[in-house]
Structure 1
Amino acid sequence: MFAVIKTGGKQHRVAEGDVITVGKLEGEAGATVKFGEILAIGAGDDVSFGAPFVSGASVAAEIVEHARGAKVIAFKKRRRQNSKRKRGHRQDHTIVKIVGLTGASKN
């Protein structure tokens, strides 16, 4: 069984036992979070699609840890102007493990 969830403006295809990285979520490591915006859920040929979300469906996940992404360097140089600028950025992430999928009457 799989589900397509929406979190942080992105869509993720998940199944029970998957470990995924999503945008930063509130909560401590070990806490349980519930994703309610389910775009599709099902198994094989029996898949329910939402319009936009499947009503009554949810995905439960456990927070494994909070982490930070790789550093991205933004370097700007204006030639012959003696002007340059270097900035770094690291995005905050949350790593979650999917523990349960429930759902499924179509809207």
Structure 2
Amino acid sequence: MIAILKTGGKQYIVKAGDVLKVEKIEGEPGALVKLDTVLMVSDGSNVQVGAPTVQGAFVEAEIIEQTRGEKVIAFKRRPRHDFKKKIGHRQHLTKIKIKDIKVS
């Protein structure tokens, strides 16, 4: 069974056993989270598409670790004005493992 879910403003195609890095979800490592913004569910022959979400469908995931992404550098410069500004950013991420996809 596969599902398309939305979390952190992004959409992911998932199936049981997948490991993803998503934007930060509150919780301790080992905790189970319920992601209920499921946009589509398919079991091979039967496809349910939500409008905008599938009613009663959710994805159960386990938090593996809280981490941070790679550093992204933003460099601003104005020619002939002696202006330079360097800014770094590291996004907070959560590594999750998909346990089950359920439709009720």
Hey, what's the Cα distance between the residues in 1 that align with 2:93 and 2:7? 12
Residue 12 of structure 1 is matched in structure 2 by 12
Q: CA deviation at 1:45?
A: 2.9
Partner Cα separation in structure 2 for residue 48 and residue 15 of structure 1: 15
Match in the other structure for 1:44: 44
Identity %: 52
- Give the aligned residue type for 1:62: E
Tell me by how many angstroms 1:42 deviates: 1.4
* RMSD of aligned residue pairs (Cα, Å): 0.9
Aligned amino acid, residue 25 of structure 1: I
Q: State the Cα distance separating 1:81 from its structure 2 match.
A: 1.4
Runs of 4+ in structure 1 displaced over 2 angstroms? none
Counterpart mapping for 1:1-107 below 5 A: 1-103=1-103
Question: Which 5+ residue runs of structure 2 have no aligned equivalent?
Answer: none
- 1:18, CA displacement in angstroms? 0.2
Calculate the TM-score normalised by the size of structure 2. Answer: 0.96
Letter in 2 for 1:66: Q
What is the aligned length?
A: 104
Mind listing any 5+ residue stretches in structure 1 that lack a counterpart?
none
